[in-house]
Structure 1
Amino acid sequence: MKVLVVGNGAREHALAWKLLQSQSIRQVVCIPGNGATAALERCQNLALSVDDFEGIGRFAQVHNISLVVVGPEVPLALGITNYLQSQHVKVFGPTKEGAQIEASKSWAKALMDEAGIPTARSAVFTELEAAKAYVTEQGAPIVVKADGLAAGKGVTVAASVEEALAAIQDLFQSKVKTVVIEECLTGQEVSVLALTDGLTIRPLLPAQDHKRIGEGDTGANTGGMGAYCPAPIMTPELSKRVHQEILEPTIAALKTRGIDYRGVLYAGLMITPEGDPKVLEFNCRFGDPETQAILPLLETPLEDLLVACSQRKLAQQPPIVWKSGVAACVVVAAGGYPETYKKGQEITGIEQAEAMGATVFHAGTSRRQQQVVTDGGRVLGVTAVGENFDNAIALAYAAINCIQFEGMYYRRDIGYRVTTASSTRE
């Protein structure tokens, strides 16, 4: 079969890489792809925009594409699934209506409140002064969120009222029309990515992301600076609770609204000090960098699961099979990210890093003649698999030592919660 992957990041590189491991995949086409997908065997890049739905649909029809897999949230929020379905093209990813669960935080909070899903108390504001008054009354710490899509960076966890007021001011000045203000939950975050066909739900292994730019989880929020999988905090008992208290009620609530949700339901959770799971946010697609840590451990052919979701046949699939061991992904970013950064810096040492046994997923790269150069804020995701976290994380960092480009930056503490604990997964 032929599969088309929409997107150009490390997540899409990982999806293409995993799909191509299957004997049943003849070809993967990436739109637009990146510097690595261009070089994968049986893979090609196509220079179309992710929002060129007509072009994507026409290519899928003419070239007999069996399935379109949508990586990023933006085309989903714009309705790529609706368009492709209207052209009788099979697609993995929710419709525009379902993608609201990520595209509008206020919509998602209303859905959670209606369904009784555990989440932070919140209030929604469309007026600057009302939002400021609320924060002044509530006090800090408090969380300020832009209502729309912000590539993982539209959130301020404010330690003081002054910081929260400044964040609100910045959002309204940047033309954000709606702001969500939430109580600040404490505990450990964990990402649960579940595949669903709108009826059946199959969670993938839980992962833990590192959102902040600085070591010790300090500094600005980013799209993610690293992840490891499976997250030990997600015990079997807790996984059962998440399934029953969060995933199932969410799919049921979407169905009540007439939404046929097929794709990834990504629950970003906080596990409170009391051990209770609460939803921080939902996403409508594979996580990045979580996907780069999850897929290397997947034994079941990925395309079997994705096609089953698109056809509403997930219940007919056998249980998902996982490889033994654990995985860690460390993101290598351009200096200055998540603010301003340079592009076009030559990258060396990727082949040497992979020769050590790591897998280097390209996030923001492109090819300039024979060179691979930087072309984004998050540049690479270096993933390693080991029998325990100490081994996997050590290998990832040893591989990074082979890589060089001007201004490269990465956190040196990815997986700090698990490297000293017992971490072998049977």
Structure 2
Amino acid sequence: MKNNVKILVVGSGGREHAIAKALLQSPHVAAVFCAPGNVGMQNDGIQTVDICELAFDALKGFVIENEIEWTFVGPENALVAGIVDSFQADGLKILGPNKRAAQLEGSKDYAMRFMEKYQVPTAKFATYQDSKSAIAGLEQFGEPVVIKADGLAAGKGVVIAQTKQEACLEIKLMFKKGQKQIVLEEFLDGDEYSLFVLTNQKNWRVLPLAQDHKRAFDNDQGPNTGGMGAYSPVPQLLESDYQKMLTQVVKPTIAGLNKGKYQYCGIIYIGLILTKQGPKVIEYNVRLGDPETQVILPRISNDFFTLLDTCVNELELPQIKESSQAVLGVVLAANGYPKEPIKNQVLPVLNKTDVIDIDYANVKSHDEAFMGNGGRLLTVISQGDNLIQAQKQAYQYLNEFDFDGCFYRKDIGFKATNYKF
């Protein structure tokens, strides 16, 4: 194993902050750069680089000039745009799926057809290219019905329409906004889980399971967001149901990647609903999730650099060692998120403690503090001996501050603890 290596992380959010921190903890790593990163990362010794995540040539130039060992890609837009293909064409090591494999996230229709082909359990679906045929297609579905924009939408391109009338309005609106294709899906009822698999051509390993909170407000109300908080582990999940997820969903997914000759080297996210009929997939992502990453990585006891280095060099992956600690993260978002988030609110100075960590996202400098720059601003992460302790610590910490122009959910983790703040 090499020492004094330098790593580049591509992205700018809380997910990339968590990834870079985890890599820096390795004794093998001398420096972690993040492009473009955010100013909050600098508090943890992460070196930010002012290069856009889609400026592939500039990123490659930085990698070559700075003798970067390999690059880790955080955001989906760079993966779907083909950053992995671009790097590999120049002989540069990079962790993530290529452009073809990234279609599993880049196109909802592509993902659903993949699942149909390789017998991965999912919802009934149909794809349409115009509002008239989509509205007519509603007759095939009950109420509520799920409407998905067929493309990247940062977790906000999904609408669960409660009635046919609402569905008609949403369909018309999506096409009016320029959507070329939408997918209608049957609504799946049950608890949702986030499952991440690290895979290369040798084998695959499942990372610690998490549960995300997608809706903007308490009690799962309001519009879908990129995620308002997460926690891990998920003690309410029966071991028998977890094993079903592995055998009925993960194994056929990996088999499909192999049969389809995808040459997948990286992380695949499987969004699961545990229905009465068993686990079913609601979506694939081709990277780590946000905010799940912020609670999953602290629970991985392996040296994170070594784990990823093994993957990118296509060696046999080691077993994942899970910490017994529980981790819970609460996202602080700007008022108006996800539709029209405000900016420039001054944030209080947040100091870490023995049990509280902060991962920054959309922030910019303001004197000795930070200002909000729209959307999700940061994640407060708490570790405890169990979820109840982690949950109490997170909310006790948040309650110490006044967050003008911001909001956060008061019920992250309640599905496991039954406690709301």
Query: TM-score normalized by structure 2?
Result: 0.96
2:320 match: 320
Q: Which runs of 5+ in 1 are unaligned?
A: 422-426
Cα root mean square deviation, aligned? 1.4
Secondary structure, aligned partner of 2:407: coil
Distance in 1 (CA, whole Å) between partners of 2:44 and 2:286 is: 27
- Is 1:197 paired with 2:195? no
Distance in 2 (CA, whole Å) between partners of 1:291 and 1:169 is: 35
The letter of the residue matching 1:6 is V
- Is 1:249 paired with 2:252? yes
The letter of the residue matching 1:306 is L
What do the CA deviations read for 1:119-148 (whole angstroms, capped 9, x no partner)? Answer: 000001012101001114534111000010
- Is 1:281 paired with 2:283? yes
Identity across aligned pairs (percent)?
38
2:91 to 88, 93, 99: 88
1:347 match: 347
2:359 match: 361
Secondary structure, aligned partner of 1:350: coil
What is the deviation of 1:249? Answer: 1.7
Distance in 1 (CA, whole Å) between partners of 2:16 and 2:366 is: 20
Note the 1:124-273 alignment, pairs <5 A: 124-273=127-276
Runs of 4+, deviation exceeding 3 Å: 233-236, 402-405
Secondary structure, aligned partner of 1:299: coil
Query: TM-score normalized by structure 1?
Result: 0.94
Distance in 1 (CA, whole Å) between partners of 2:374 and 2:206 is: 30
Distance in 1 (CA, whole Å) between partners of 2:291 and 2:344 is: 22
1:35 match: 39
What is the deviation of 1:303? Answer: 1.1
Q: Which runs of 5+ in 2 are unaligned?
A: none
1:10 to 14, 17, 31: 14
What do the CA deviations read for 1:312-345 (whole angstroms, capped 9, x no partner)? Answer: 11x2x43111221211101111111111122122
Distance in 2 (CA, whole Å) between partners of 1:375 and 1:210 is: 22
Task: Give the paired residue count.
Answer: 415
What do the CA deviations read for 1:369-398 (whole angstroms, capped 9, x no partner)? Answer: 433111121111111011111100011111
What is the deviation of 1:233? Answer: 4.0
What do the CA deviations read for 1:215-246 (whole angstroms, capped 9, x no partner)? Answer: 11011000000101012244333333222222
What do the CA deviations read for 1:271-310 (whole angstroms, capped 9, x no partner)? Answer: 0134x11000000000100011111111101111211111
Distance in 2 (CA, whole Å) between partners of 1:265 and 1:27 is: 26
1:118 match: 121
1:22 to 26, 30, 34: 26
Contact in 2 for aligned 1:347/1:403 (Cα 8 Å): no
Distance in 1 (CA, whole Å) between partners of 2:41 and 2:349 is: 17
CA 1:238/1:137 → structure 2, altered by over 3 Å: closer, same or farther? closer
Contact in 1 for aligned 2:192/2:211 (Cα 8 Å): yes
More displaced 10-residue stretch of structure 1: 358-367 or 340-349: 340-349
CA 1:90/1:137 → structure 2, altered by over 3 Å: closer, same or farther? closer
Contact in 2 for aligned 1:350/1:402 (Cα 8 Å): no
